Structure 1
Amino acid sequence: MPTTPRARARAQTMTDIVRIGREHLATDGAAALSLRAVARDLGVVSSAVYRYVSSRDELLTLLVVDGYNALADEVDAALAESPDDPIEQIRILARTVRRWAHAESARYGLLFGTPVPGYDAPADQTMAPGTRVIISLQSLFARAYRSGQLQAPSTDVRISSSLATNFAQIRDELQLDIPDWLIVRGVTFWASLFGAVSADVFDMYGTETFTDRDELFELQIDALLDVLGHRPDH
């Protein structure tokens, strides 16, 4: 936490810049973000805001990091109040992602929608916040596997040596003891989850195709859990 008045003032200004940036993102879209407009709403001359944010791209990066962390914080809060069952927690995580995406469609679009022309998010700043939800999912997959709630495929998954190296790095980085088949299924799950959420939020289905998208999403979660290897008792 900032300890001096000057540091606190700077932190507050940065908070205000991000807040105003979010407002402009919602009303004008990412491609139209302007530091001049942010400075105007902040009540300072445009040159003053450059002491805090050097460019539009830096503002976009701040908003990307802010968005990833907001989504992950929402997921973490939902999981903290959920039953201690990894399968049910996977469901809750999926629902939370979709709910946040609808409530914050502009921020979700910045994170998972059409790339902003000319902008390339710096991995050193966005990788950690951007993978928080994915890491939470992978941890839940591992817990479900250890508790015997996931069924292994009947045949071994064959992968190349290069992909095996990638999988080994994932296991090492996340400190998860899970087999290759679960990594494959886990990646399929999270990619499909965000695909389903995006199709809903960005209205890829068409406005009248499905009368109850809540029910559709629950069925999609069921299908993805089936892909993951979950076989509920009947």
Structure 2
Amino acid sequence: MDVSGTRATDENTRPPAVIKATARQLLVKVGAGGLSPEAVAGDSGLAVAEVEAVFPHRDDLLTALVIDAYNESAAAMERADEAARAAGASAGGRLLAVTRALRKWSFDNSGEFTLIYGSPVPGYHAPQETVPPASRTPAVLAGIVRSALENGELTPPRRAVPGPPLLRPEAVELFGGLPPAPFSDVIERGIVLWSSLIGLLVFQVFSRTHDSVRDESAYFDFAVAVAAEGIGLVVPLDDGAHTT
């Protein structure tokens, strides 16, 4: 069953769009655990049978929302990267642009952010069809790091990962192959960057830093720059443009 669907607009009031728009509102109100055909029907004005005709089970609806969330957040990053490249930005500037774009999407869509990066939904196991959309975010980051490597914008690390590579073949394939020394561990370092980014967003979206820092958007930029140092990439912080 195709559960990807489309986001509702004024012109598009078909049941799939209405159901998903209602479900997104419920994510904020009651969380993913509160989603059900009955809850969606109650808030959308549709009959339960109409909801179940499109999404027979709660998990079908959750999968549709997960796929949309990954695709839409990654698309925001991809648009930001395209604009940064068009403006002649360095790899560090591109990284700052795409992470800011993901941060904005995360705050604008906190329910969907929580769905894909928050606590697991009890009883729900994401199917294989969610993997390609989920891979788009690290693919954007990998593309920037690969470009930096090819253009000589990376500083060699002071310490290499000890022993054999710590990677699954899928990660090497996503990056486009294993780089030569002294950057042979840049993929591992890129995963550190990726996980640091998501952890930082979790802290900010869930208000874990608001009582520690005075300017959360500026702190976000700073933290991205610090994390990027781990792969030898310099992120410019002197443009004065912070997210809100």
Flag whether TM exceeds 0.5 (same fold).
yes
Provide Cα deviations, 1:56-80, integer angstroms capped at 9, x if missing partner. Answer: 1111111111111110111122222
Q: What TM-score results when the alignment is normalised by the length of structure 2?
A: 0.82
Q: 1:173 to 1:218 in 2, by over 3 A?
A: closer
Structure 1 residue 46 corresponds to structure 2 residue 51: no
Residues 1:211 and 1:232: Cα distance change in structure 2 (over 3 Å): closer
**2:193 equivalent to 1:189:** yes
Change in CA separation of 1:33 and 1:115 when aligned onto 2, cut-off 3 Å: same
How many matched pairs?
219
Q: 1:145 aligns with which of 142, 149, 153?
A: 149
Q: Which residue number in structure 2 is paired with residue 216 of structure 1?
A: 219
User: 1:222 & 1:156 partners in 2: Cα distance?
Assistant: 20
* Separation in structure 2 between the aligned mates of residue 222 and residue 73 of structure 1, nearest angstrom: 22
Q: Counterparts of 2:62 and 2:232 in 1: how far apart (Å)?
A: 38
2:67 corresponding residue in structure 1: 65
Q: Is the 8 A contact 1:142 1:176 kept in 2?
A: no
Name the SS of the counterpart of 2:230 in structure 1.
Answer: helix
Instruction: Please tell me whether the aligned partners of residues 103 and 201 of structure 2 are also in contact (alpha carbons under 8 angstroms).
Output: yes
Q: Distance in 1 between matches of 2:33 and 2:14?
A: 25
Give me the CA root mean square deviation. 2.3
User: Shift in Å at residue 196 of structure 1?
Assistant: 0.8
Matches of residues 1-234 of structure 1 in structure 2 within 5 Å?
A: 12-82=14-84, 83-84=87-88, 85-122=90-127, 124-160=128-164, 163=166, 166=168, 168-176=169-177, 178=179, 179-205=183-209, 207-231=210-234
Q: Is the 8 A contact 1:34 1:56 kept in 2?
A: yes
Change (3 A) 1:173 1:193: closer
Shift of 1:151: 1.4
SS of corresponding position for 2:185: helix
Q: What's the secondary structure of 1:81's corresponding residue?
A: helix
Identity of aligned residues (%): 27
The 1:20/1:194 distance shift into structure 2, 3 A limit, reads same
Q: Name the CA distance, whole Å, in 2 between partners of 1:98 and 1:231.
A: 20
Tell me which amino acid in the other structure corresponds to 2:108.
A
Structure 2 Cα separation of the partners of residues 105 and 173 of structure 1: 28
Q: Partner of 1:38: helix, strand, or coil?
A: helix
TM-score normalised according to structure 1 size = 0.85
What runs of 5+ residues in structure 2 fail to find an aligned partner?
Answer: 1-11, 237-244
- Tell me the amino acid that sits aligned with residue 41 of structure 2: A
Change (3 A) 1:97 1:54: same
In structure 1, C-alpha distance between the alignment counterparts of 2:235 and 2:47, rounded to whole Å: 61
**Deviation for aligned residue 1:175:** 2.6
Bigger share in helix:
1
**SS, match of residue 74 in structure 2:** helix
Q: Distance in 1 between matches of 2:198 and 2:120?
A: 16
